[in-house]
Structure 1
Amino acid sequence: MIKVTIKQTSDQKIAAFTVEGHANFDKYGSDIVCAGVSAVTFGSLNAVEALTHVVPEIEQGGEGGYLHWQVPNRLPEETEDKVQLLLQGMVVSLQTIEQSYSDYIKITFKK
């Protein structure tokens, strides 16, 4: 199962997120859940970089399926607002996948 953990600040902003595990929906190369989660998360991080010029510092692991990104501190307010909107869009997309494939992906929110 893919486990997504969204760490939020006290005012509901996304401070960090972690994605770990494998969906095991289908064999490697045919797993649409894993492919969808990867496309959404990496597409969102690429959008953050391209549209806000915030370069994501990604922590990534190999076979265990691990991705972690923390929102940088002290971003200008306008930049932070854009980053938050893009990350909130990522969460909505991941929740859409979770609705259809809840046996293979679980999203948890933490303060």
Structure 2
Amino acid sequence: MIKVTIKRDDQQLIQSFTITGHANFAKKGSDIVCAGASAVSFGAVNAVMTLCKITPEIEQGADGFLRCSIPSNIDEATQEKIQLLLEGMVVSLETIERDYGNYITISN
């Protein structure tokens, strides 16, 4: 199962997210749940980097591991853009979870 953990601060701003595991929905190369979660999460990270001109702390590893942490010293306007992009990612992942809840779970 893919496990997504969203870490928020006291103001409910996303500070980081972590994704671990495999969906095991289908064989490797045909797993639409894994492909969807990967596309959504990597797309969000790439959008933050390109559109907001910041480099989050990114850690990748085996078994589907991805952690992305947003730096804390960001101006308010940029932080708003980052949050919009990351909240969009959460909505997209929740859509996948709604249809494939046996293969992906999200905790906020």
* TM-score normalised per structure 2: 0.98
Tell me, which stretches of 5 or more residues in structure 1 are unaligned? none
Task: Report the count of equivalent residues.
Answer: 108
Superposed CA offset, 1:5-49 (max 9, x none): 000111111011000000000000000000000000000001101
Q: Which amino acid aligns with 1:5?
A: T
How many Å separate the matches in 1 of 2:14 and 2:56? 14
Percent of paired sites with the same residue:
58
**Aligned twin of 1:89:** 88
Q: Which moved more, 1:52-61 or 1:19-28?
A: 52-61
**Aligned twin of 2:101:** 102
Tell me, which stretches of 5 or more residues in structure 2 are unaligned? none
**Aligned twin of 1:20:** 20
How many Å separate the matches in 2 of 1:44 and 1:54? 13
How many Å apart are 1:65 and its aligned residue?
1.1
Q: Which amino acid aligns with 1:79?
A: T
**Aligned twin of 1:52:** 52
How many Å apart are 1:102 and its aligned residue?
0.1
Superposed CA offset, 1:50-104 (max 9, x none): 1000112210002x11000111011011111100100000000000000000000
